Amino acid sequence: MIAILALLLACQLGGEILARSLALPMPGPVVGLILLAVVLLAWVHRRPDLKGTLLDKVSTFLVGGLGLLFVPTGVGVVQQLGLLGDYGVGIVLTLVVSAVLTMLATVGAFLAVKRWTGKRP
């Protein structure tokens, strides 16, 4: 358990160091994600099954509980109540319509490219 946490944090730290020292346009944890993926790809080369390992369980727990991790940030809304009072309707409409458009564009492009590439396997 501790080893798994150490692995995740080490990847994040490595990602942070790489991102800063090489001035990458990516955030540290995303570089850490790539680092861990590389390590795991090398690992599954020898031992094909990652499912059911402790790493699998811990990451399922972390990724599955992702919603909780946003609560402290989201509660910050109490600091922005004044701004939301002034522009609340505009902000909410903008965010809702933009989120819908983004989902439609994404799912449309996904299915279009899939159909298009599927014709010529």
Partner 1 sequence: MNDPFALWVYLSSTPLLWLTVTLCVWVGADWLARKSGRNPLVNPVLVSIIAVGVVLLVTGTPYARYFEGAQFVHFLLGPAIVAIAVPLVTNRKIVMENLLPLLGALLAGSVTAIVSVVLLGRLFGLPPDVLLAMVPKSVTAGVAMGIAEQIGGSPSLTAVLVVLTGVTGAVLVTPIMNALKITDYAARGFSVGLASHGIGTARAFAVDPVAGTFAGIAMGLNAVLTSVLAPVLASWMV
Site for partner 1 in 77-106 (CB under 8 A): 77-80, 83, 87, 89-106
Establish if 17 lies at the interface with partner 1 (CB under 8 A): no
Among positions 34-53, residues that touch partner 1 (CB under 8 A) are: 34-37, 40-41, 44, 50-51
- Using the rule CB under 8 A, which residue among 21, 64, 82, 120 binds partner 1? 64
- Using the rule CB under 8 A, which residue among 1, 2, 23, 75 binds partner 1? 75
Helix (H) or strand (E) holding 119: none
For residues 29, 35, 40, 45, the Cα torsion angle rounded to the nearest 10 degrees is 160
- Using the rule CB under 8 A, which residue among 2, 21, 46, 117 binds partner 1? 117
DSSP line for 48-112: ---TTSHHHHHHHHHHHTHHHHTHHHHGGGGGGHHHHHHHHHHHHHHHHHHHHHHHHHHHHHHHH
Establish if 27 lies at the interface with partner 1 (CB under 8 A): yes
